Amino acid sequence: MEQVQKIFRTLSDPTRVRVLALLEQQELAVQELMDVLGMAQSRVSRHLAILREAGLLQDRREGTYVFYRYSAPRDGPWHEAWQLVRRELQADALHLGDAAALERVLSARATRTRTFFDAVGPEWDALRKVFNDDALRARAVAHLVPSGMRVADIGTGTGILAAELAKLGLRVVAIDHSARMLEAAAAKLEAEGISGVELRHGEAGALPLERGAVDATFAHMVLHYLPSPGDAIREMARVVAKGGRVIVVDFVRHEHEWMRQELGVAWLGFGADELADWFRDAGLEDFRCETRPGDTASRDLPATFIASARKPA
């Protein structure tokens, strides 16, 4: 009975319900919640503290920012109570307004990244050498056999990975949200005489592909630029065929703030547990995550990972 009373007390406040509904959809920082809800920091932080004390939130620090997400119980009284609340929210005007405001916040995230890449354009090949990831890229490619498969390269940039995949005999759909990057990729592919690559303009969170359209999807050093990495993994899972694999290469969580300024990254890497949750929530199985130390020969770099999972047959 005590737990039931705690559930009712926690969910009796409409602001806390709004916060949970937002954090169920997206991991957000306090400032972003303030923007969506139109509330002062003290008020938002007070409700976050109550929800955290109730065991409903997970948080992680990104440099000077703290991001929160709803850690939804999968069964029991909390789960049942929240399912009831969710059904009521579907027709709630305030909830629909919050969803629209959240969309604007995420759009602002994406715009910052798109502006960076549109400004960088073909110069990205020189900038990205700091990743020192040629070997890592080759190891990611090794996850794909045999040749002849149709694969998607998400966030293709100037088409480096797409070109390598095509050289291995794979049919590639290379997708990027920056028109200038796609122009650079087209020029690179033409100069190298590479065929078998189809360039498409699109967002990682809304891929321009039909369900089950490809045999595998790659996101190589892309997640840390995306407004919503979890949504991107769900989209990669949607467009991959049954039995196909979703493969992600990126940085392990780190505190290299210089990367925000010099490379325009939005996220300072990711943890294995966080990745496993995203892959599981996307309906993928057989999750694997292999890490590789950062190369400190020329510059202090964070460790990297190759994570992959399979779509059930």
Quote the CA–CA distance of 131 and 125 in Å, as a whole number.
11
- Among 102, 128, 119, which Cα is nearest to 231's? 102
Q: What is the pLDDT of residues 68-107, one digit of tens each?
A: 888 877 788 888 888 888 888 877 788 888 888 888 888 7
- Mean pLDDT across the stretch 235-261? 91
CB of 164 closer than 8 Å to CB of 230: no
- What pLDDT score does 311 carry? 96
Q: What percent of the chain has pLDDT over 90?
A: 34
Please give the structure tokens belonging to residue 130. Answer: 């700091």
Query: Rounded to whole angstroms, how far apart are CA atoms 259 and 269?
Result: 11
Is a pLDDT exceeding 70 seen at residue 142? no
Residue with tokens 């990745």: 275
pTM of the model: 0.69
CA distance 38 to 33: 8
State whether the Cα torsion 181-106-40-60 is positive or negative.
negative
Confidence of residue 269 (pLDDT cuts 50, 70, 90): very high
Flag whether pLDDT at 258 surpasses 60. yes
DSSP string covering 200-263, please?
EE-BTTB-SS-TT-EEEEEEES-GGG-S-HHHHHHHHHHHEEEEEEEEEEEEBS---THHHHHH
